Structure 1
Amino acid sequence: MDSQLHIFFFPYMAHSHMMPAIEMAKLFASRGCKASIVSTPANAPHIHKAIESGTNLGLEIGVLSIRFPTQEVGLPEGCENANSLTSLEMMNKFFTAVNMLDQPLEQLLMEHRPSCLVADLFFPWATDVSAKFGIPRLVFHGFSFFALCALASLLRHEPHKQVSSDSEPFVIPNLPDEIKITRNQLPDYMKEETEFSGFLKKLDESELNSYGIIVNSYYELEPAYADHYRNVLGMKAWHVGPTFLCNEEKEGYKAVRGQEASISEQECSNWLDSKKSNSVIYVCFGSLANFVDSQLMEIAMGLEASGKQFIWVVKKGKHEEGVKEEWLPEGFEKRMEGKGLIVRGWAPQLLILQHQAVGAFVTHCGWNSTLESVCAGVPMVTWPVSAEQFYNEKLVTQVLGIGVGVGAKKWARLTGDSVNREAIEKAVNLIMEGKEAEEMRSRSKALGVMASRAVQEGGSSYEDLTALIEDLRLQRHCCGSK
């Protein structure tokens, strides 16, 4: 039997899921494993580019393609990534298509017989498909341990069903800390029975029946929750992150991570180089959140009122030549010249966060962005929108003490809760000025140092990855000897 482990990675087709999965493939490959990433034709070029950026020669990473059934579900040709979805109807069709990928995956597993399948949580059927061939399936959520613990508690105890209103705070039971949340901050499919509610139960069952969970976090960041998840909830889990740190020193990686930037690395660096240390606030809400014009106007007015320098990334397709942008106050960019930089599209986030001029980050609390901010030692203004982001906000503000909330009170699939300019101005000033801001920055920097140590030889994540690889070797040996 070939002694080399062959690991399949099957990420959900969204940039926030694909990036850490690709980085994870590099991690396993750097430890002597063969890695294959399964995806669809339209996503393959992005994956190839990400593999090539900064990869050391000799890493065995391949890309295997399966057809995405756009035509069968009524999606436009080439619509194979969640980032291109613009409506709830498109999202539902996309999920239908995702659930039709079980047979193509089964075919690939039969042909290649990998040692392990690391499949995204959105593929609950992957556990049964891999079991047909005796292949262990690891679940990858892209969540923090904290979010996993909170979600498990909510699913099992349903405390949200005991309160009298959507705005009444309640305690998430049996967590290491007293964490309060409201029904408004929970996803709609947890509050009422929807088609996705049934899907959520399938996810939970699939996770319980899987070989274990692989987590993009590190022990020192959330030790009580790593222990709680494994020892109290009894889940088999390994932390191997932050995954992007495995590429951090590679030439040019900070500029290319994610989608193609709408601003050059040089232009971005030159602008930041002209600013004092910790004087710039970075504002970005990830690849999926899409605020309405009136909310963008409030952000602009709040930033201007704060008097702080800023880089603001706007996911907006309304910047055609000669067309007035309704989401910007009259004369805003002229007034902000030299003080504020608006990036329309995608920005080199790692490069920005790790620049000494950046003093804070206004974020939607997606786990990739949260980890990047922590590793850069940058405190956060938290503005959760959807997914598990309200849990991450509690971790950042209440447990770690490295952020302040902007006041978002309601979970919303794409558009985000409405927050006024006064709240934005107040949160920005609180995170950038005064003793409390300095203390948060100090705690953030300490966590960033711990993150770097965690992925180095002998560090907590390095050792957990070693333990996982050894476990998989033992598993294959046992199965192979039957």
Structure 2
Amino acid sequence: MLPFLQLSKSLAKRGHRISFLSTLRNIQRLPKIPPHIAPLIDFVSLTLPKVDGLPENAEATPDLPKDQVQYLKVAFDRLGGPLENFLEKASPKPDWIILDFACHWVPKLASKFRVPCALLSVFTAPFLAFWRPSESISPGGDNVLEEFTAPPKGISFETSVAFRLHEARRVIRGYENNASGVCDADRLLLTIEGCRVVAPRSCRELHSDWLCYLQELYRKPVIPIGLLPPAPDDGAGVDATSNESNVFHWLAKQAPGSVVYVAFGSETVLSAEILHELAFGLELSRVAFLWVIRKPVDVAGEGKEILPEGFEDRTRDRGVIAMGWIDQLRVLAHASVGGCLTHSGWSSVIESLQFGHPLIMLPFIVDQGIIARVMEERRIGIEVPRNEEDGSFSREDLAKVIRLVMVEEEGNQFRSKARELKEIFGNKDYHERYVEEFVLYLRNQKEN
């Protein structure tokens, strides 16, 4: 949602009118719009149909366990009626519809109103390069894992970026049937097929070769939209909590660049086993840390009881744990923070490098491994070693990588490269030029 909001704000600053369509609860989750552009962004709430198996008020993937996400797709696929009603009443009609990959049915519906579509891909260009139509992949085939554990076929440049074996097994699930009747891979590829242009959240300085490969693969324009970096005031309107006040009071006492910020995003739910290994790894590293933990929904109270017994007491002199939401941009901007232990979600990577922080990468969800490997190829950070079969990691390896990136002399190359890339990731004017290029394409295509 947030990249779409970032793009909406960027377009509104240019004087374009935006209709931002989503469900009510998703719209309510968004940060406030700056007053000077608020009149140009109209939030349109669509009522999500009731679907058997989908809990009430579940309107986004973080609201659901993995096995129930398929029912959310069923519900979203039934939004065709409300969208058609919106397009019928809209005056004037939209010039373009910019959509998410999951909405494979939108281009056909939009064509009834002669409105072209563009895909804004929150996935990076390297990740998109791996996906093929489901008819070319047999989930039970002998060689199917080889499709994903090696770089994509037809790549003309040097790279070792690919999925690990344990990741590839999860990727293949994207080719399996689900309750919606459309597997995730086909959902993405049908959307690409129906759109006139694909706009990945990428930039040429990072992904130039991959973007060229995608254009050859899709045989249509692939125009990077830039990184859409958030501004520090994007969390405006969210009141600071006492928890947050304590965090910044603690950060103010730490040496510059000494703290590793630990966070794994809003959609990653970690098991007790993984949480414990993370805790022991942080303890072994002897590096100061700020760890933000998403409390499992089934845990009562503060939730700190999910950590190893005695962990807080043993690390009290050099670590702070925050449960729940915290202003991540404000944390990353703090002078005491010197690196990030991250799941390698693309938004989190962008935000970390926006402030020049090197990465300690521990990916968990489908696209994150590819992001981590691209970052490692660029010497921006290091991925924590994992077991190829099951994806497990050891506290010893985690501690070693934390120290290498944060403290050891060998880590200077990563710290230096991250500071260098701050000039790309942190320059909003630079990324506005990518948006301008995209707008120029849309305008020219509409006029033609």
TM range (shorter): 0.7 to 0.9
Cα separation, partners in 2 of 1:449 and 1:132, compared to 1, 3 Å: same
Contact 2:139 2:176 (8 Å CA) reproduced: no
Whole-angstrom distance in 1 between the partners of 2:146 and 2:215: 31
- Opposite residue 215 of structure 1, the aligned amino acid is P
Of residues 367, 371, 394, the one that matches 1:420 is 394
Contact 1:281 1:362 (8 Å CA) reproduced: yes
1:451 aligns with 2:420: no
Whole-angstrom distance in 1 between the partners of 2:89 and 2:25: 22
1:103 aligns with 2:81: yes
Deviations 1:53-102 (A, max 9, x none): x4535651110011011x333433222122111351x2222121121112
Whole-angstrom distance in 1 between the partners of 2:363 and 2:260: 17
How far 1:36 moved relative to its partner? 1.4
Whole-angstrom distance in 2 between the partners of 1:202 and 1:316: 31
Deviations 1:299-321 (A, max 9, x none): 11111111011011111146644
- Opposite residue 73 of structure 2, the aligned amino acid is F
- Opposite residue 472 of structure 1, the aligned amino acid is L
Whole-angstrom distance in 2 between the partners of 1:260 and 1:410: 43
Deviations 1:194-227 (A, max 9, x none): 1157441242132023111222222222222233
Whole-angstrom distance in 2 between the partners of 1:232 and 1:431: 36
Whole-angstrom distance in 1 between the partners of 2:389 and 2:353: 23
How far 1:160 moved relative to its partner? 11
Whole-angstrom distance in 2 between the partners of 1:225 and 1:429: 32
1:41 aligns with 2:24: yes
- The aligned counterpart of 1:115 is 95
Contact 1:262 1:345 (8 Å CA) reproduced: no
Of residues 376, 397, 408, the one that matches 1:434 is 408
Cα separation, partners in 2 of 1:209 and 1:92, compared to 1, 3 Å: closer
1:357 aligns with 2:323: no
Whole-angstrom distance in 2 between the partners of 1:354 and 1:421: 28
- The aligned counterpart of 2:158 is 177
Whole-angstrom distance in 1 between the partners of 2:439 and 2:229: 19
Contact 2:247 2:322 (8 Å CA) reproduced: no
Deviations 1:449-479 (A, max 9, x none): 12344x41xx3x333322322332233334x
How far 1:136 moved relative to its partner? 1.2
Cα separation, partners in 2 of 1:282 and 1:263, compared to 1, 3 Å: farther
How far 1:358 moved relative to its partner? 1.3
Q: Superposed, which structure 2 residues align to 1:305-454 within 5 Å?
A: 305-317=284-296, 320-321=300-301, 325-398=304-377, 400-409=378-387, 417-453=391-427
The 10-residue stretch of structure 1 (278-287 or 232-241) with the greater mean CA deviation from structure 2: 232-241
- Opposite residue 93 of structure 1, the aligned amino acid is Y
Cα separation, partners in 2 of 1:154 and 1:307, compared to 1, 3 Å: farther
Of residues 48, 51, 65, the one that matches 1:86 is 65
1:213 aligns with 2:198: yes
> Counterpart of 1:127 in 2: which secondary structure?
helix
- Opposite residue 361 of structure 2, the aligned amino acid is T
Whole-angstrom distance in 1 between the partners of 2:163 and 2:435: 33
Contact 1:384 1:408 (8 Å CA) reproduced: no
Whole-angstrom distance in 2 between the partners of 1:100 and 1:411: 38
The 10-residue stretch of structure 1 (370-379 or 21-30) with the greater mean CA deviation from structure 2: 370-379
- Opposite residue 178 of structure 1, the aligned amino acid is T
Q: Aligned residues: percent identity?
A: 24
- Opposite residue 467 of structure 1, the aligned amino acid is E
How far 1:389 moved relative to its partner? 1.1
- The aligned counterpart of 1:20 is 3
1:242 aligns with 2:242: no
TM-score, scaled relative to structure 1:
0.82
Contact 2:96 2:117 (8 Å CA) reproduced: yes
The 10-residue stretch of structure 1 (378-387 or 417-426) with the greater mean CA deviation from structure 2: 417-426
Whole-angstrom distance in 2 between the partners of 1:382 and 1:419: 12
The 10-residue stretch of structure 1 (202-211 or 286-295) with the greater mean CA deviation from structure 2: 202-211
Whole-angstrom distance in 1 between the partners of 2:75 and 2:148: 38
Unaligned runs of 5+ in 1: 1-17
Unaligned runs of 5+ in 2: none
How far 1:393 moved relative to its partner? 1.2
Contact 2:259 2:338 (8 Å CA) reproduced: yes
Whole-angstrom distance in 2 between the partners of 1:29 and 1:411: 47
TM-score, scaled relative to structure 2:
0.88
Whole-angstrom distance in 1 between the partners of 2:292 and 2:88: 44
Of residues 186, 189, 193, the one that matches 2:168 is 186
> Counterpart of 2:442 in 1: which secondary structure?
helix
- The aligned counterpart of 1:204 is 189
How far 1:193 moved relative to its partner? 5.1
Deviations 1:233-262 (A, max 9, x none): 5441222332234x34xxx43566xx8876
How far 1:337 moved relative to its partner? 1.9
Cα separation, partners in 2 of 1:169 and 1:188, compared to 1, 3 Å: closer
Whole-angstrom distance in 1 between the partners of 2:366 and 2:326: 22
Deviations 1:369-423 (A, max 9, x none): 111122221111111112211111111112x1111111245699xxxx4322112
Cα-Cα RMSD: 3.1
Cα separation, partners in 2 of 1:55 and 1:446, compared to 1, 3 Å: farther
- The aligned counterpart of 2:438 is 468
Whole-angstrom distance in 2 between the partners of 1:244 and 1:334: 37
Cα separation, partners in 2 of 1:260 and 1:157, compared to 1, 3 Å: farther
Q: How many residues align?
A: 440
